[in-house]
């Protein structure tokens, strides 16, 4: 379970606000790559709801139930997106950085420091700490993970109304068997990542 030790050390070391950062949608075939940023202070850490985990460890219903609680507990939060077209034009690493910059720009005030899940800092923040598995140990990163996942899922469900037949409401743009069959049958949409290997014709 996340324990918030990383953020607590930063706050005790002089930071006023610390943000957790996590991305979702990197492995999807369709829809945006999204980055959540959840800003916490000492009061926020105490207010984090019970049952908070990395979004991948939670059911869709649990994530939906946590969303309003996290929105209230965090000092602020934002989710930034880079579209499928931007993923194609920029490459995934640059698109992820763009989504992160949009999320950080959407905050009321910039955080003093960041905890970034993964092994690479894609934020460009001068005081970013990168930690593999931070979505399982950091409360702020777990919060960012859930907030980003729910926000992106809702966006892709809406895309399903515009592009029926792909099962976006169920697969959220990820390469499930249903999605694979739909692409083979219907072709690609404007929200598919056309530069990816799956989109190239087989010779």
The structural domains of the chain, ordered by start, are 5-151 (3.30.420.10)
Question: Which residue did the predictor score with more confidence, 65 or 198?
Answer: 65
Separation between Cα atoms, residue 123 and residue 175, nearest integer Å: 27
Query: Computed over its alpha carbons, how large is the radius of gyration of the chain?
Result: 17
pLDDT at 108 (0 to 100): 84
pLDDT at 109 (0 to 100): 87
pLDDT at 202 (0 to 100): 42
- Residues whose CB falls within 8 Å of the CB of residue 15, separated by 6 or more in sequence, listed in order: 111, 112, 113, 127
- Phi and psi (nearest 5°) for 185? -85, -40
Where residue 201 falls among pLDDT bands split at 50, 70, 90? low
pLDDT of 29 over the 90 cut: yes
pLDDT of 18 over the 90 cut: yes
The Cα-based distances of 131 to 87, 138, 166 in angstroms read: 24, 9, 35
Strand partners, 40: 18
pLDDT of 178 over the 90 cut: yes
Separation between Cα atoms, residue 164 and residue 129, nearest integer Å: 41
Arithmetic mean of pLDDT over the chain: 94
Strand partners, 37: 21, 78
- Write the pLDDT tens digit of every residue in 82-95: 999 999 999 999 99
pLDDT at 135 (0 to 100): 85
- Write the pLDDT tens digit of every residue in 101-144: 999 999 988 899 999 999 999 999 999 999 999 988 999 999 99
Yes or no: say if 137 and 155 are a contact pair by the CB < 8 Å rule.
no
- Which of 36, 37, 39, 38 shows the shortest CA–CA distance to 16? 39
| 14 dihedral zone (left: phi>0; alpha: psi -120 to 50; beta) | left
Of 63-72, 142-151, 191-200, minimum mean pLDDT range: 191-200
- Phi and psi (nearest 5°) for 14? 120, -5
- Write the pLDDT tens digit of every residue in 46-55: 999 999 999 9
Where residue 200 falls among pLDDT bands split at 50, 70, 90? low
Strand partners, 147: none
């Amino acid at each position: 379970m996340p324990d918030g030790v990383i953020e607590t050390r930063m706050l005790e070391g002089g930071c006023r606000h610390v943000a957790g950062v996590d991305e979702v949608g990197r492995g999807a075939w369709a829809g945006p790559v999204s980055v959540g940023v959840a800003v916490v202070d000492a009061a926020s850490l105490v207010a984090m709801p019970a049952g908070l985990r990395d979004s991948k460890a939670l059911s869709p219903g649990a994530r939906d139930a946590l969303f309003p609680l996290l929105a209230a507990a965090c000092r602020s939060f934002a989710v930034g997106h880079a579209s499928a077209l931007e993923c194609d034009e920029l490459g995934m690493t640059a698109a992820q950085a763009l989504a992160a910059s949009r999320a950080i720009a959407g905050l009321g005030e910039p955080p003093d420091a960041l905890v970034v899940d993964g092994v690479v800092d894609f934020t460009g923040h001068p005081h970013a700490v990168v930690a593999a598995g931070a979505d399982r140990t950091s409360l702020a990163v777990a919060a960012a993970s859930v907030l980003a996942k729910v926000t992106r899922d809702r966006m892709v469900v809406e895309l399903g109304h515009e592009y029926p037949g792909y099962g976006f409401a169920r697969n959220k743009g990820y390469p499930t068997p249903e999605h694979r069959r739909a692409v083979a049958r219907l072709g690609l949409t404007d929200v598919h990542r056309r530069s990816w290997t799956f989109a190239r014709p087989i010779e």
